[in-house]
Structure 1
């Protein structure tokens, strides 16, 4: 095996699961042998992926279809249910994937985080964008609607950042400061919010966003954030192709230039959704 192109994926070796009786190998033996494998992979410079399963606090992302046999997990889950057993890590260089069903592939306001809102934006200032996004989020929470806070960051080794040759420099330079991915405190997160971490412009690819929305029966997405023609537009195009209905809060988003913002608002967004103001959206919230 080539260590550079091989990954060890360890499934559900977490506190809430290894306590069970297993066969033909005891969970203790499984953990010990998985540790041996993980140590060997790390020593060889190969990737170790630790996968764990859990559910959101409101249990809305757990599958609940009628079945003949009871699910192997009962709720509410204990606080340490999803903790990886300490012998396995995670250690520097490991990836931790959180899933919400048996399989690890299906499913694992935009970029209003401390270091992004410090940029110059147009035609709306980042301060105005944050204030209007807060108004939207407060109204959504009051109405009992879901608020999703999306942030972008990269792994410590920078291996998950796209690095294809381009004519223009990326809007993010590395290494990232420690607080780069922190959501601005005015926006939360608060109880009931979802936080999605992405590793490129769009918020769907490689995240659990689609899973979380579909399991909650969400059909309409209201988009806000920075930057209009990067994170917002990439996410919007992907959402439209997944058949979500879209509403764009025009004055709760901004680009790195007025021209870029206006092109998306005037040319792209009207073809895939509805462009409205923050006030119009909050006024319509709750209407069928």
Structure 2
């Protein structure tokens, strides 16, 4: 099992939060520690939790951040499932509208309670601990009750929206009886003046990951395929009609493969022809049962 050699210090009370070297705010700075020794790295190596106002984040200058061990040092699997997940720097983004600041706060508060998150429990039991950890941290998965929040974060690291969906923890299938198919964070927490402007799920990963891009329809499929088919950087549209040329402009210069659900090949192929360096997989072209790639990997 692979683990991070250097990671942000887990919260163990206010004594584990320090003064930010950039903005000077007390108890807002999280320092990196060495998992081998438990010792802090440099005084300025860490991240400020004031994402909007400061955005300071200096990572360890280490080529290899992984080590091979038989157990994660410093926390158990159950602790990780219940602890507050990582925060993320916005790298000094310009000031956003008030509702976007609220959305960032809600996003931050949702990065927890994974032992209640049915889809994350399904992934944990089917694919194991390392896969779950990567999925949560990479895609910044949130929790609302037992449901999963798929946060749409654009290539500039702006949080656009949060899509809330319910899953069965045993099968990983969507729960469609008695609950809306899709809910949105801005509907659960009304934001005055908010305008929904969607982007691709996982779009924020384009900044630092140079792998060929694969696009699925379902966010869950993107998560599963990121585990099973890691040669691609997996994104999702969140719906058959959400694949548009406009949304794909951020893919300029990238090699792209579209993986439409069964029955959606013609629609996606027509759009794919308008996107440079893009091909459309025929894997499910002749299926008519509505299945997706996640059902086959």
Q: Which has the higher contact order (CA 8 A, sep 6+)?
A: 1
Same fold (TM over 0.5): no
- Give the TM-score taking structure 1 as reference length: 0.32
- Find the structure with the greater CA-based Rg: 1
TM-score (ref. length: structure 2):
0.31
